[in-house]
C-alpha cells in the first residue's frame, strides 16, 4: 500500500537513474583501517545500543556503523549492550560523525587497531526521503548486507540530509551516486582518508548551530 508521502518522495532510483556501475578500492585511512583477515559485519537489529551514546540503533535514521578491533574489547560509554555474545571485539554505532568516528579515533589514539570498519552503504539500500518533512533523513538499515568496508567508500558531507543526531557523513560505494546525492541535497564528497578529528569536530559543531 502506498503512503500519503509517495508523491513527495525522492528515491535512490531517481537520484542515480543516470549513474553507471563503478568500483571503489580503498585503503586504510588516518582513523585506523583493516588489517589481515576481516570478520563479516553483523546484524545490528534487536535494540542494540550505541557504544558512544547508548541510543538504540535503527530508531533514529541515518547511517550506522560497526568496528572490529584486534586486541581491544571496547566498552559502551552509556547503557548495557544486549546480544553481544561472541562479539567481544566489536563496537556498534547509530551515527558516524557523532558515534563511530569520535569513539574510534579515541581508541586508535590509545593504541587500538581495527581489523574491520563497516558503515551503511547507501548504494546497497533502496532509500527514500520524504520531501515534505522538516528534517530530511536517510533510513537506518541494520541488516549485515547493508554494510560495506568503510575504507573504500565515498562520503557526502555538508548536505541537507540528516543522520541520527544531525549532520553526518553519508557513505556510498558508487562515487557517482555520491556525486548525484550531493547535487540533489548539497554538500561535497570526500574519501575515507579525509576523515580526521578536525573534520568530525566540524560536523558536530555544525549540528549545534
197 has pLDDT over 90: yes
CB 154 within 8 A of CB 172: yes
> Helix, strand, or coil here: 22?
coil
**What sign does the dihedral 98-100-104-105 (CA atoms) show?**
negative
β partners of residue 49: 56
20 has pLDDT over 70: no
Query: What's the confidence (pLDDT) of residue 29?
Result: 39
Flag the least confident range among 16-20, 35-39, 150-154, 188-192.
Answer: 16-20
pLDDT greater at residue 201 or residue 29: 201
Task: Copy the grid coordinates of residue 99.
Answer: 558515534
Task: Copy the grid coordinates of residue 130.
Answer: 520524504
pLDDT greater at residue 19 or residue 175: 175
Q: How far apart are CA 93 and CA 106, in angstroms?
A: 14
Interval 183-192 mean pLDDT: 97
Query: What's the confidence (pLDDT) of residue 33?
Result: 46
Instruction: Give the residue from 6, 29, 60, 17 showing the smallest Cα distance to 181.
Output: 17
What φ, ψ does residue 137 adopt, rounded to 5°? -135, 145
Interval 166-185 mean pLDDT: 97
Query: What's the confidence (pLDDT) of residue 131?
Result: 73
Query: What's the confidence (pLDDT) of residue 206?
Result: 83
Q: Burial letters for 74-85: b for 16+ Cβ neighbours within 10 Å, e otherwise?
A: bebeeeebeebe
What pLDDT digit, counting tens, does each position of 81-94 carry? Answer: 555 556 789 999 99
Reported pTM: 0.82
Query: What's the confidence (pLDDT) of residue 134?
Result: 73
What φ, ψ does residue 11 adopt, rounded to 5°? -110, 165
Average pLDDT, the chain: 82
Who contacts 207 (Cβ-Cβ below 8 Å, separation ≥6)?
98, 165, 166, 167
9 has pLDDT over 80: no
Who contacts 103 (Cβ-Cβ below 8 Å, separation ≥6)?
51, 52, 67, 74, 77, 91, 93
The CA angle 65-58-113, to the nearest 5 degrees, is 15
Interval 155-165 mean pLDDT: 95
What pLDDT digit, counting tens, does each position of 48-107 carry? Answer: 999 988 899 999 999 999 999 998 989 887 655 555 556 789 999 999 999 999 999 999
Q: How far apart are CA 90 and CA 109, in angstroms?
A: 17
Amino acid at each position: 500500500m502506498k503512503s500519503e508521502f509517495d508523491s513527495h518522495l525522492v528515491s535512490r532510483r531517481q537520484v542515480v537513474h543516470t549513474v553507471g556501475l563503478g568500483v571503489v578500492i580503498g585503503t586504510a585511512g588516518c582513523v585506523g583501517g583493516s588489517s589481515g583477515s576481516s570478520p563479516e559485519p553483523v546484524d545490528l537489529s534487536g535494540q542494540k545500543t550505541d557504544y558512544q551514546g547508548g541510543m538504540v540503533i535503527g530508531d533514529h535514521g541515518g547511517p550506522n556503523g560497526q568496528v572490529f578491533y584486534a586486541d581491544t574489547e571496547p566498552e559502551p560509554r552509556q547503557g548495557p549492550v544486549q546480544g553481544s555474545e561472541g562479539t567481544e571485539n566489536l563496537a556498534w554505532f547509530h551515527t558516524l560523525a557523532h558515534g563511530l568516528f569520535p569513539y574510534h579515533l579515541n581508541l586508535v589514539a590509545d593504541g587500538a587497531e581495527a581489523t574491520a570498519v563497516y558503515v551503511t552503504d547507501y548504494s546497497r539500500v533502496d532509500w527514500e526521503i520524504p520531501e515534505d518533512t522538516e528534517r530530511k533523513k536517510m533510513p537506518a538499515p541494520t541488516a549485515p548486507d547493508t554494510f560495506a568496508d568503510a575504507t573504500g567508500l565515498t562520503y557526502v558531507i555538508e548536505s541537507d540530509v540528516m543522520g541520527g543526531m544531525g549532520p553526518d557523513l553519508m557513505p556510498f560505494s558508487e562515487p557517482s551516486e555520491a556525486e548525484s546525492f550531493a547535487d540533489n541535497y548539497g554538500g561535497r564528497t570526500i574519501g575515507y582518508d579525509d576523515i580526521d578529528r578536525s573534520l568530525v569536530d566540524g560536523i558536530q559543531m555544525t549540528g549545534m548551530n
